[in-house]
Chains A and B, each alone.
Chain A
Amino acid sequence: MPELMQFLLSGVTVGAVYALVALGFTIIYNASDVVNFAQGEFVMLGGMFTVFAFEAGLPLPLAALLAIIATAAIGVALNKLAIEPARGAPVVSLIIITIGASILIRGVTQIAFDKQLHRFPAFSGDTPIQIVGATILPQSLWVIAGALAVFVGLWLFFTRTLTGRAVLATANNRIAAQLVGINTKYVMTLSFALSAAIGALAGVLVTPITLTGYDIGIALALKGFAAAMLGGMGNPKGALVGGLLLGVLEALTAGYLSSQYKDAAAFVIILAVLFAMPQGLFGRKSTDRV
């Protein structure tokens, strides 16, 4: 029993990070129908910027804040310089553009910083906490709480604010949104800033546990993408559930079956879900117009 509890706790921690990445995918996808393969790079940048600002002598909270702002700015730049000019391009082109962006960001990071793995101290120390015979790091609680806070914050933003509703309207029907006076360009820029900031926040929260380095983004993007698909692309609730589910399944596979194949388990489950429910767990069924 304590064993299972331990797997669940570590699964939820990793899953919370996947959920944050998946939420980032969801926001951009909703606003622009683009799946941003550079989402994992935002997580990496959040961690890297914090590490180097912290080592330069800034207090940790300030370093983290700066990292989130800088990453959001990069997200905006990605939208302005690459996604907006490519409006209307086919899915394949958009996939290549964002994958190109991720490779570019990785390359620049490697030159600007280095190829080493880095970490900074955990927010509230490294003394493990006992829960029902299992242990959890205080930092894991930060990660889980962070994911929940972002989810609640987004929910409030989308349901209670005018700007949030404008984003939803744009997601639903771009042209109709334009007709009622919504500046859809601004909505897209906002979405990129928001999802880059959320990615960076995930990087800030998780770096004390998993370390950061220039090339951690690919794996995170794949898992976050898979989580978003699992939950149903474009659905924030799906992103949260998909992320947590993926993390837990991975931890269980690593614990009970084979740690080498924990990534395989994730993909097998996603393939199975997609075969049974091509729109994901919470996805809408869509019809094509000819």
Chain B
Amino acid sequence: MRLSSKTTTLLVLAALIALAPLFFPSSYYFRVGSLIFVNGLAVTGLVVLTGYAGQISLGHAGFVGIGAYACALAPVHLGLNPLAAAVVGAALSGGLAWLVGRPILRLKGYYLAVASLGFGALVSMVLANEAQVTGGPDGMTVPDPGLRALLKSAGLDLSNSAFWYAFSGGILVIGAWLALNLYHSPTGRALRALHGSEVAARTVGVDVARFKLQAFVISAVYASLSGSLLALQNKFITPDVAGYMHSIELVTMTVLGGAGSVIGAVSGAMILTTLPQVLTVFQEYEQVMLGLVMMLVMIFMRDGLLPSLSRRIRGRGE
């Protein structure tokens, strides 16, 4: 039996996550790994928005910030478990995306880019300025959800970094599975249709506004959960997560690997998350390298790294 590309993608992803630790010389690698998964989750959401539906957002770090701060604030003010707080944050992000998405998504191209950028900037400004609630630029601590302790009492004792590696890896696989299912669903087809041509999609009866909004809400929920995961594993959070640069990083990761496919975008997240870790040796040159990578890939491999490479490997004759 031939495996569908969806199953293959998921199997490859799960196998990589499960087998990579065999080659980890130190717990530091678990830490980088979980960072990759956290970014990969946000980027998977952007695949739905950008890769499927063809819409740009330069403000998604705003949703990451909401998810992150939900995990810090809800336990203090509402007495929720941090995991429940993550769900509240996701609901909040989804609701907010639904509210701002309606007017914003009427805009196209650069206009949509600047509107979403404005939204992200507003969120990060509120997080940085409302110091009495959010701790301001100093950030705030995030309580532990107690999952590790629960596992320990069940007889499974994982180190902190190994636990978060496995946990965020698991969430990423679930997130990828949902996004891949969406791709082949009627909604996914509608999104791809409006990506091709909005006018043509409307002519064949696709409710363009509704589907764009759905993609925006879905991607906001992914971003929010990614922020929550980051907050939980770092146990500390600053407004930087919601900043403009983080939005740019997320979009870059998405298109770097290939916005059209989940696995491509996740590999983009992997490259851009590991690059700064490798480059700390040449900290001075980090920005230069990042800028160069962004430019070179976009100039010479327009569809992203993975699709371009696989095309080159598969079909020389094309």
Seen from chain A, the residues whose Cβ lies within 8 Å of a Cβ on chain B are 35, 82, 85-86, 89-97, 99-108, 110-111, 218, 222, 225-226, 229, 233, 260-261, 263-264, 267-268, 270-271, 274-275, 278, 288, 290
Contacts and interface: CB of A to CB of B under 8 A. Distances in A.
Contact of B295 (A82, A111, A275, A290): A82
A238 B256 CA distance: 34
A104 B302 CA distance: 19
Q: Is the interface of B mostly helix, strand, loop or mixed?
A: helix
Contact of B291 (A92, A100, A290): A100
A278 B122 contact: no
B136 to A, nearest CB: 10
Interface in B82-101: none
Interface residues of B, number: 49
Contacts of A90: 302
A107 B295 CA distance: 14
Contacts of A274: 103, 107, 111, 114-115
Given A99-B294, A105-B291, 5 more contacts: A85-B300, A91-B109, A96-B252, A96-B295, A103-B290
B129 A261 contact: yes
A109 to B, nearest CB: 9
A107 B129 contact: no
Contact of A107 (B56, B109, B287): B287
Contact of B50 (A92, A261, A275): A92
Interface stretch (B13-21, B69-77, B193-201): B193-201
Contacts of B115: 270-271, 274
A86 B299 contact: yes
A28 to B, nearest CB: 12
Interface string B249-283: 00110011001000000000000000000000000
Contacts of B200: 290
B121 A218 contact: no
Nearest to B56: A92
Given A92-B251, A271-B115, A222 B294 contact: no
Contact of B285 (A86, A111, A264): A111
Contacts of B248: 99
Nearest to B113: A95
Contacts of B110: 35, 91, 95, 229, 233
A110 B284 contact: yes
A225 B114 contact: yes
Given A97-B298, A101-B291, A222-B244, A107 B286 contact: yes
A215 to B, nearest CB: 10
Contacts of A263: 121, 125
Nearest to A83: B299
Contacts of A290: 197, 199-200, 203
Given A107-B287, A288-B199, A93 B111 contact: no
B299 A229 contact: no
B30 interface: no
A275 B103 contact: yes
Nearest to A258: B129
A288 B198 contact: yes
Given A91-B56, A96-B252, A278 B107 contact: yes
A89 B203 CA distance: 26
30 contacts: A35-B110, A89-B298, A89-B302, A91-B113, A93-B255, A93-B302, A95-B251, A96-B251, A96-B252, A96-B294, A100-B292, A104-B288, A106-B291, A107-B289, A107-B290, A110-B287, A111-B284, A111-B288, A225-B114, A226-B114, A229-B110, A229-B114, A261-B125, A261-B129, A264-B122, A264-B126, A267-B118, A271-B104, A274-B115, A275-B103
